Amino acid sequence: MLIHLVKKDILIVKKYVLLILFIAIGIPLFILWRLPPFAQILGFVLSIIFSEFMLCQYLLLKESQYSKASVLLCSTPYPRRGLVQSKYVLFAMVFIYCTLVYWIENLLIPQIGTFDLTYILIVLLISSIIYGVYMPIQYKLGYETTKFFFVVIIMASSFVLPLTIAHSNFEIPFIYQYPSMIVNIVLFLLSLIILLASMFISIKFLVIRSLYKVRGTFICHICQIGLFYFVSYFQ
């Protein structure tokens, strides 16, 4: 059943596929043109962050606009956790998509940056941390509140990441102290653990919010029925 929910999300965001392709190609080229010292990995990081959060934000916008549809889905055989899990599956799909685009771009323009498994997994870890923090907050507070958080993420990543890379030259000493295979496994497992923990928390928040909505709707209907009989009694 999860695959059907993933297909639903893909259908919602399919018109943004070309935009994501443009972002995945354009941002690394822009970084190479305007900030060549940061082209090592910054272009890839920003293309991932922008792509992931633009699609995620659009999906959450649509779910917020058509909240009754989500309620109906929850009343079908599709479990509530599937609505959350599909967002994390989409995260993985977008990451793979952007990585393939960056790989092809790197083959054509080697100066655009480094395409190395360790660097890719570092980018995965960075994006997993940001996405892993954002999603539970969104399911806890709702779209209207967290849409401003989205703007902060986009703005902050454009300034903080270049400063961080400039300060450290993106050299992480401990990475070179261990075999690359061990480092890659650790990076991947950390990303996986963060995403799984984030997904679990998001599911809990969604269930709680859904129960409050259902309870509120039920009480509202009871009040309406009571008011109807009260008015009818005195007529």
pLDDT for 42 equals 80
Rg (CA), the chain: 22
**201/217 Cα distance (integer angstroms):** 24
Are residues 50 and 25 in contact, defined by beta-carbon separation less than 8 angstroms?
no
pLDDT for 220 equals 43
The token duo for 65 is 């606009």
pLDDT tens digit sequence for 94-137: 999 999 999 999 899 888 877 889 889 999 998 999 899 989 98
- The ranges assigned to domains in the chain are 2-208
pLDDT for 6 equals 84
pLDDT for 167 equals 59
Are residues 203 and 88 in contact, defined by beta-carbon separation less than 8 angstroms?
no
pLDDT for 210 equals 65
In which region does residue 113 sit, left (phi positive, over 0), alpha (psi from -120 to 50) or beta (all else)?
A: left
Q: How many CB atoms lie within 10 A of CB 104?
A: 13
Helices (H), the chain: 2-13, 17-34, 42-65, 67-75, 80-108, 117-141, 143-168, 180-233
Q: How many CB atoms lie within 10 A of CB 74?
A: 17
In Å, how far from its chain's centre is CA 157? 14
Instruction: Please report, in tens digits, the pLDDT of each residue of the chain (235 residues total).
Output: 678 888 888 888 888 888 888 888 898 888 888 877 777 678 888 889 888 888 888 888 877 776 555 555 555 555 678 888 989 999 999 999 999 999 999 899 888 877 889 889 999 998 999 899 989 988 888 777 777 776 777 677 666 666 666 555 555 656 667 888 999 999 999 999 999 999 999 999 888 866 555 444 434 444 444 444 434 444 5
Q: At a CB cut-off of 8 Å and minimum separation 6, what does 147 contact?
A: 57, 61
